């Protein structure tokens, strides 16, 4: 069973430990998240924290801003705990929060490389569809016939209607 709880500033050290387990390091990141209008959730299984993500009510992506769509961001599950329903549980919890806050849609982005293949498939299975505006780089629409680095900033933005 997956337990989901809302993080507080007391969880910052633990969030950095989780971040390191997935191979990331970004000092100051979680402090900034708590300063913004974000909700951070932590997933636990068997009393061990195994994943996290955040729901940003002030996303950088202009379309989400214009339509007041909160964005699920930085959804992560430690590698040896993947494919156990943890990401799904986090996404469903974020959708419920967004719905409770009056949002009609929720957004999520996904990278375009093979590393993101499982996430691409999961988001579609959960009802997310491309927003129809093509690929973005760092949350800005790409310009046709321009070269972009294929990294974590090159994403497809997706949305889901909430009932």
Q: What is the pLDDT of residue 58?
A: 93
Q: What is the largest CA-CA distance in the chain?
A: 50
| Alpha-helical regions (H) of the chain | 12-21, 29-35, 62-67, 86-100, 117-125
Which DSSP helix (H) or strand (E) runs through 130?
A: strand 129-137
Q: Which domains does the chain have, with CATH numbers?
A: 2-161 (3.40.630.30)
Q: What is the pLDDT of residue 64?
A: 96
Q: For 67-118, how does the pLDDT look when each residue is reduced to its tens digit (9 = 90+)?
A: 999 999 999 999 899 999 999 999 999 999 999 999 999 999 999 999 999 9
The residue among 137, 65, 67, 74 whose CA lies nearest residue 156 is 137
pLDDT band, very low/low/confident/very high, at 129 (cuts 50, 70, 90):
very high
Distance of alpha carbon 5 from its chain centroid, rounded?
A: 16
Q: For 18-62, how does the pLDDT look when each residue is reduced to its tens digit (9 = 90+)?
A: 888 887 777 888 888 888 879 999 999 999 999 999 999 999 999
Q: What is the pLDDT of residue 26?
A: 79
């Amino acid at each position: 069973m997956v337990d989901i709880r809302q993080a507080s500033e007391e969880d910052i050290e633990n969030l950095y430990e989780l971040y390191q387990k997935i191979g990331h390091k970004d000092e100051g990141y979680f402090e900034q998240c708590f300063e913004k209008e974000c909700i951070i959730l932590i997933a636990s299984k068997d009393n061990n924290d195994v994943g996290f993500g955040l729901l940003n009510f002030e996303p950088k992506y202009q379309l989400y801003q214009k339509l007041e769509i909160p964005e699920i961001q930085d959804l992560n599950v430690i590698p040896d705990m993947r494919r156990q329903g943890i990401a799904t549980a986090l996404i469903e919890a974020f959708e419920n929060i967004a719905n409770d806050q009056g949002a009609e849609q929720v957004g999520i982005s996904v990278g375009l490389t093979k590393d993101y293949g499982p996430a691409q498939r999961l988001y579609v299975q959960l009802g997310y569809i491309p927003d129809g505006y093509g690929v973005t780089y760092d949350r800005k629409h790409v310009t046709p016939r321009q070269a972009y680095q294929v990294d974590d900033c090159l994403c497809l933005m997706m949305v889901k209607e909430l009932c």
